[in-house]
Amino acid sequence: MSNFPSEKPVLVTCGLPYANGKCHIGHLRTYIPADIFVRSLHKQGQDATFVCGSDTHGTPIVVSAEQAGSTPEQFIEQYHHHFDEVFKNLGIKFDFFGSTNDPVNHNRTNEIVNKLIENNYVYPKKIDLAYCPHCERSLPDRYVEGICPYCESQARGDECDQGCGRHLEPGEILKPICKVCGSNAEYRKQEHFFFRLSSFKDFLMEHLDTLGGTANSRNYAREWVQNELRDWCITRNLEWGVRFPGHEDLVVYVWVDAPIGYISFTEEYCNNAGLDWQQIWQGDSRIIHFIGLDIAYHHCIFWPAMLKGAGYSLPWAVIASGMVKIEDKTFSKSRGYVVWVNDDYLDHGFHPDLLRYYLASYTSHTKELNFSWTVFQEKVNNELVGSLGNFLHRTLHFANKNFGRVPEGQVSPDVLAEIRETIQNVTEAMDEYEFKKAIDTIMSLSAYGNTHFQSNEPWHMIKQDPDACKRVVKDCLQIAKALVLLCEPVIPAKMKEAWEQLGLEGDVSKMTYNEALVELESGRALPKPAILFNKIDDKKIEEMEKIMNKRVAEAKAKEEKTTSAPPQVQEITFEDFKTMDIRIGTVVLAENIKDSDKLLKLQVDIGEPEPRQVVAGIAQTHEPGEIVDRQVVVVANMKPAKLFGVESNGMIMAADEDGAVLLQPEKQVENGTSVR
RNA sequence: AGCGGGGUGGGGUAGUCAGGAAAUCCCGACGGGCUCAUAACCCGUAGAUCCAUGGUUCGAAUCCAUGCCCCGCUACCA
Task: State the ipTM, two decimals.
Answer: 0.90
Through-space separation of residue A237 CA and nucleotide B28 C1' in angstroms: 60
Is the pLDDT score of A568 beyond 80? no
Cα distances (angstroms) measured from residue A378 to each of A374, A390, A580: 6, 15, 54
Through-space separation of residue A531 CA and nucleotide B30 C1' in angstroms: 32
State the pLDDT at residue A659: 54
Q: Are A613 and A589 within 8 A, CB to CB? A: no
- What are the phi and psi torsion angles at A205 (to 5°)? -60, -40
Query: Which nucleotide shows the minimum CA-to-C1' distance to residue A563?
Result: B75
Is the pLDDT score of A516 beyond 70? yes
State the pLDDT at residue A145: 75
CA–CA gap between residue A34 and residue A290 (Å, rounded):
6
Higher pLDDT pick, A181 / A300: A300
- Dihedral angle sign, alpha carbons of residues A518, A519, A523, A529: positive
Task: Identify which of A227-236, A319-328, A427-436 has the greatest average pLDDT.
Answer: A427-436
Through-space separation of residue A189 CA and nucleotide B49 C1' in angstroms: 65
Is the pLDDT score of A227 beyond 80? no
State the pLDDT at residue A565: 36
The answer to whether A650 CB sits below 7 Å from nucleic acid chain B is: no
Helix, coil or strand: residue A51: strand
Q: What is the mean pLDDT of residues A354-368?
A: 91
- What are the phi and psi torsion angles at A355 (to 5°)? -70, -40
Cα distances (angstroms) measured from residue A298 to each of A208, A254, A264, A582, A655: 13, 11, 18, 50, 50
A59-67 and A72-89 helices cross at what angle (nearest 10)? 100
Through-space separation of residue A210 CA and nucleotide B58 C1' in angstroms: 36
Average pLDDT of the residues of chain A = 85
Nearest residue to B26, CA vs C1'?
A: A379
Q: What is the mean pLDDT of residues A458-480?
A: 96
Query: Which nucleotide shows the minimum CA-to-C1' distance to residue A449?
Result: B41
Through-space separation of residue A168 CA and nucleotide B7 C1' in angstroms: 34
The answer to whether A447 CB sits below 7 Å from nucleic acid chain B is: yes
Q: Are A145 and A155 within 8 A, CB to CB? A: yes
Query: Which nucleotide shows the minimum CA-to-C1' distance to residue A448?
Result: B42
Q: What is the mean pLDDT of residues A642-670?
A: 68
State the pLDDT at residue A152: 64
Q: pLDDT digits over A577-629, tens only?
A: 666 678 888 887 777 665 455 667 777 887 777 777 777 777 666 766 777 77
Q: Is A461 exposed, middle or buried (0-12, 13-18, 19+ CB in 10 A)?
A: middle
- Residues, chain A: 676
Higher pLDDT pick, A384 / A673: A384
- Across A59-73, A304-318, A328-342, A651-665, least confident range: A651-665
Query: What letter does residue A673 receive in the DSSP assignment?
Result: -
The answer to whether A361 CB sits below 7 Å from nucleic acid chain B is: no
State the pLDDT at residue A605: 81
The answer to whether A564 CB sits below 7 Å from nucleic acid chain B is: no
Residues 273-302 of A with CB under 7 A from strand B: 291-292, 294-295
Say what percent of chain A tops pLDDT 90. Answer: 52
Confidence of residue A310 (pLDDT cuts 50, 70, 90): very high
Helix, coil or strand: residue A175: strand
Residues 380-409 of A with CB under 7 A from strand B: 382-383, 385-387, 389-390, 393-394, 397-398, 401
Query: Which nucleotide shows the minimum CA-to-C1' distance to residue A179?
Result: B75
State the pLDDT at residue A563: 43
The answer to whether A352 CB sits below 7 Å from nucleic acid chain B is: no
- Strands (DSSP E) found in A366-512: 369-371
Q: What is the mean pLDDT of residues A30-41?
A: 95
Through-space separation of residue A418 CA and nucleotide B51 C1' in angstroms: 40
> What region does A11 belong to: left with phi over 0, alpha with psi -120 to 50, or beta?
beta
The number of helices, as runs of H, and strands, as runs of E, in chain A is: 22, 28
- Strands (DSSP E) found in A253-389: 286-292, 317-321, 324-326, 329-330, 369-371
Nearest residue to B27, CA vs C1'?
A: A378
When computed from its CA atoms, the radius of gyration of chain A, rounded to whole angstroms, is 31
Query: Which nucleotide shows the minimum CA-to-C1' distance to residue A290?
Result: B78
- Across A276-280, A332-336, A390-394, A649-653, least confident range: A332-336
State the pLDDT at residue A309: 95
Sheet holding A247-252, edge to edge: A235-236, A247-252, A243-244
| Other residues' Cβ atoms within 10 Å of the Cβ of residue A623 | 12
Alpha helix segments (H runs only) across A213-328: 215-227, 254-273, 277-281, 296-297, 303-310
Cα distances (angstroms) measured from residue A449 to each of A165, A397, A413, A499, A519: 50, 15, 14, 17, 16
CA–CA gap between residue A120 and residue A109 (Å, rounded):
17
* Percent of chain A as helix, strand, coil, to the nearest 5: 45, 20, 35
Is the pLDDT score of A501 beyond 50? yes
CA–CA gap between residue A461 and residue A470 (Å, rounded):
9
Confidence of residue A219 (pLDDT cuts 50, 70, 90): confident
Through-space separation of residue A88 CA and nucleotide B12 C1' in angstroms: 31
Task: Give the pairing of strands A49-54 and A96-99.
Answer: parallel
Through-space separation of residue A455 CA and nucleotide B43 C1' in angstroms: 10
Domains of chain A: 10-98+256-325 (3.40.50.620), 118-200+216-249 (2.170.220.10), 372-517 (1.10.730.10), 574-662 (2.40.50.140)
Residues 59-98 of A with CB under 7 A from strand B: 60, 63-64, 67
Through-space separation of residue A185 CA and nucleotide B70 C1' in angstroms: 41
Higher pLDDT pick, A171 / A397: A397
Is the pLDDT score of A351 beyond 70? yes
Through-space separation of residue A332 CA and nucleotide B49 C1' in angstroms: 39
The answer to whether A436 CB sits below 7 Å from nucleic acid chain B is: yes
